Structure 1
Amino acid sequence: MGARNAKKQASPYEGLADRAFWRTGVADAGSYPPPEIYTPRFKISKKLPIFTAGSCFAQHVGRTLSANGFNVIDTEPVPRRTLPQVAQKYGYTLYSARYGNIYTVQQFLQLLLECRGEFTPADPVWEKDGRYYDAMRPGTEPDGLATPELVQKSRAYHLKAVRDALEQAGLVVFTLGLTESWQHTESKTVYPTAPGTIAGQMDHDVYSFVNYRAAEIRDAFIAARDILRGINPDMKFLLTVSPVPLTATASGNHVLPATVYSKSVLRTVAGELSEDFEDVDYFPSYEIVTSHATDEPFFEPNLRSVSPDGVERVMKTFLSAHGALRGDRANKRRKLRNKAKETEEDVVCEEALLEAFNK
């Protein structure tokens, strides 16, 4: 009887750690982000080959990891004698290959299937003013190419580079950005931008808007995970959700609730995946930037671009959790601040081009 009573407690919340309660975990934590906001599921060594992809905010992640000595893969390096600002304009140094921003998990899965020869995009080449663009990554050639054949040749080279990157990878870092996208209605080919934004022409008989549900995104990620674990059975995954609001929505709703819906869906999916799979971790960059508990605003005056201080706080939290701020802390913090000061104008984001249509 005594042993039975010993198992009783006043409440299941009795004895929980400080981080489990809002007052001690956030309001009275004494610093922001609060301690223990992120406990890594697995450690990331600086030798582990890292494949980065995702929406615009993912560029900050990749750059900071690289600047702090992590082994970030780059299979399409900058051509020699290319100025840094020119290289970035043409999609170099942003990710592990020149695929540009991948805003949805569906687009990422599509890229993996194309690399395996199991998918061929519909309408893969778009035209504008006599120049031709890769519809799957139209922002990587800002001036287009001279012929459709050159676009196809460039894409074949690019797909080989992606395959090479994936074969090296031990960790995939993916930032989920959007639920909204545009697709070729018949084939379901997903594009990173709406036709007509950078190149091509919008035809509502050919293309259609799609706003992915949580179950669809979850299923797409699981399919992508299966492919990647087939390449490397020890592959691990780190998910984040971009804190950057939508520039515009085609959902018919006001852009504010449309943004909250999109981010809520993505955060839900990321949480479920990290709970269901031991090889999937979640890092709360979204929460750090957007929480009302911040000690200062982490957005620029346009209320969309994340401030350099916001980026620095996010990456400092991540690096500290993985032991990468040990040693010469002052020097590492200085390097981190310098990276964070790369403003939003230095981040390539095709979605931001939608503001040009706000007339």
Structure 2
Amino acid sequence: MTHPYQTLPEDRFWRTAVAERDALEITGLWKPKHAIARRTRIVTAGSCFAQHFSRALLARRYRWLDFEPGPAGLTPEQRKDYHYGTFSFRTGNIYTPKMLLQWLTWALTEAEPPGEVWEKDGRFYDPFRPGVEPGGFASAEELWTSRRDTLRAIAEAVRGSHVFVFTMGLTEAWQDRATGVEYAVCPGTVAGQFDAGRHVFVNHGFGALMGDMTAALRLMFRANRRLIVLLTVSPVPLTATASGSHVLTATSHSKSLLRAVASELVATQARVDYFPSYEIITHPAYKGRFFAPNLRSVLPEGVDHVMAQFFRDQAAAFGGEVAVAPAPVPAVAAVEEVPEPELTEAEELRCEEEILAAFAPGQRDG
């Protein structure tokens, strides 16, 4: 008697595909739908982890596009501080599908973003990207002018690219109770004033996440009929949760829902694919080797391994050589150095969610 399992390849069985291999030798996790070549026009957006894609693409001389490069004359550090070159446009981090849908709606339709502005110490902050301008804008008019530049950049990025990489990060968010508009971070943390009667916490369920991502895809595909969307899920745990659950279980809840949404979209949308960077970093098979001691920051070797799998699986599916990043310049010092997290403390503060860590017990008075 025969049955389907008798003819399956070895990567369909746990023992041969995982248990009997060193974790770094686990291959073939991604079966890409679409070829991504060096000439492919690629844009990136999403949560903090998404910035690793642009770095890896540029290092291998792929065509990552920046539609909002910023003014000339900025130093590399200033460009980072002002969120130029982090993503393909200056939205800062886009954590949820709802936030992505908002930005796309404002950029690709006649809908106008709300006129709400947050103030702090005489400076003005954009509620939907409060971290992009260190110290805030000088006026509300300056803020709105800057936002219009970003909306133009988003529209140009969607219409002018071949692949849109979006990293989903969170299901938790804060909204305006009356309008339903979603903020980048809880009001009152970066700037603004928290109002319990006006501001409401939401933890998006599967249906809402699917609805928002489907609507976002519809807008993008309508604007660019050749566009491919590549989804990933950020492996970085939640900094803090307002769900009432322990932050560990809240993280599992959020990431599991986002991962399920990605799978459903891949199954139902021909132009949507998913790359498993989340699994490579977080799965028990890798025994946490890619996390820094804080169990949040992803080490450079983790990012390198993720991106090596990306290019290896592309080559396996579509032929050609595996794209390899240039070898690092050897250090002059002979003393062995402890590897630093990919994001330094200063860089993590460019992720709005990281600011929540400052409100943890023991930090509030520091």
Question: How does the TM-score come out when normalised to structure 2?
Answer: 0.90
Helix, strand or coil at the partner of 2:201:
strand
Residue number in structure 2 paired with 1:356:
358
Counterpart residue number, 1:298? 290
Structure 1 position 327, deviation (Å): 7.1
Q: Does 1:16 align with 2:15?
A: no
**Contact 2:311–2:322 under 8 Å retained in 1:** no
Determine the structure 1 residue equivalent to 2:97: 105
Partner of 1:130: 122
Asked if 1:326 corresponds to 2:321, the answer is yes
CA-to-aligned-CA distance 1:295-316 (integer Å, 9 cap, x gap): 6621111111111111111111
| C-alpha displacement of 1:121 | 3.5
Partner of 2:335: none
Letter aligned with residue 164 of structure 2: V
User: Aligned partners of 2:294 and 2:323: how far apart in 1?
Assistant: 35
Q: Contact 1:121–1:189 (CA<8 Å) still a contact in 2?
A: no
In the alignment, the residues of structure 1 paired with residue 342 and residue 50 of structure 2 have an alpha-carbon distance, to the nearest angstrom, of: 14
The residue type equivalent to 2:357 in the other structure is E
The range that moved more, 150-159 or 17-26, is: 150-159
Matched with 2:268 is: 276
Of the structure 1 ranges 278-287 and 33-42, higher mean CA displacement relative to structure 2 is found in 33-42
- Tell me the equivalent position of 1:312: 304
TM-score (norm 1): 0.91
SS at match of 1:32: helix
2:25 is the counterpart of 1:25: no
d(CA) in 1 for partners of 2:134, 2:272:
35
Please list every run of 5 or more consecutive structure 1 residues that lacks an aligned counterpart in the other structure.
1-7
Q: Where does residue 215 of structure 1 map in the other structure?
A: 207
The yes-or-no answer on 1:193 pairing with 2:188 is: no
Match of 1:3 in 2: none
Structure 2 equivalent of residue 54 of structure 1: 46
After superposition, residues 158-177 of structure 1 pair within 5 angstroms as: 158-177=150-169
Asked if 1 retains the 8 angstrom alpha-carbon contact of 2:107 and 2:154, the reply is yes
Q: Distance in 2 between matches of 1:239 and 1:328?
A: 21
Displacement of 1:322 in angstroms is 2.3
8 A Cα contact 1:123 1:135, kept in partner: no
Partner of 2:5, secondary structure, is: coil
- Equivalent-residue separation in structure 1 for 2:110 and 2:73 (angstroms): 37
Q: In structure 2, the residue corresponding to 1:267 is in which secondary structure?
A: helix
Partner of 1:344: 343
**Quick one: which amino acid aligns to residue 58 of structure 2?**
S
Q: Determine if contact 2:126/2:143 at 8 Å carries over to the other structure.
A: yes
Q: Deviations over 1:35-56 (max 9, x none)?
A: 2111211110111211211100
How has the CA–CA distance of structure 1 residues 118 and 290 changed in structure 2, closer, same or farther, with 3 Å as cutoff?
same
Residue 229 of structure 2 corresponds to 237
CA contact (8 A) 2:37 2:62 kept: yes
For the residue of structure 1 that corresponds to 2:131, the secondary structure is helix
Return closer, same or farther for 1:166/1:327 CA change in 2, 3 Å cut-off.
closer
4+ residue segments displaced more than 3 Å = 117-123, 323-329, 331-335
Answer whether contact 1:305 1:344 (CA < 8 A) is retained: yes
Cα 1:328–1:222 change in 2 (3 A) is closer
Q: Which residue of 2 aligns with 1:71?
A: 63
Matched with 2:244 is 252
Q: For the Cα contact (< 8 Å) 2:106–2:112, is it kept in 1?
A: yes
SS state at 2:93 partner: coil
Name the count of aligned residue pairs: 346
Q: Secondary structure at the match of 1:238?
A: strand
CA separation of 1:31 and 1:180: change in aligned 2, threshold 3 A: closer
The 2-side partners of 1:266 and 1:167 are apart by 26
Give the CA RMSD over aligned residues: 2.0
Is 1:43 aligned to residue 35 of structure 2? yes
- Between the aligned residues of both structures, percent identity stands at 43
- Please tell me whether the aligned partners of residues 49 and 171 of structure 1 are also in contact (alpha carbons under 8 angstroms): yes
Q: Deviations over 1:225-262 (max 9, x none)?
A: 11111111121111110000000000011100000000
Q: Which amino acid aligns with 1:170?
A: H
Secondary structure in structure 2 of the residue aligned to 1:344: coil
Describe the shift of the 1:266–1:49 C-alpha distance in structure 2 as closer, same or farther (beyond 3 A): same
Cα deviation, residue 328, structure 1: 8.2
Shift in alpha-carbon separation, 1:328–1:176, aligned structure 2, 3 A: closer
Q: Is the 8 A contact 2:312 2:322 kept in 1?
A: no
> For each residue in 1:94-147, what CA deviation from the matched residue of structure 2 results, as whole angstroms up to 9, or x when unmatched?
011101100001100111111134433345311011100111111000111111
Contact 2:239 2:357 (8 Å CA) reproduced: yes
Check the 8 A contact 2:96/2:169 in 1, yes or no: yes
Are residues 275 and 327 of structure 1, via their aligned partners in 2, closer, same or farther at CA, if it must alter by over 3 Å? closer
Residue type at the aligned position of 2:297: S
| 1:176, distance to aligned residue in structure 2 (A) | 0.6
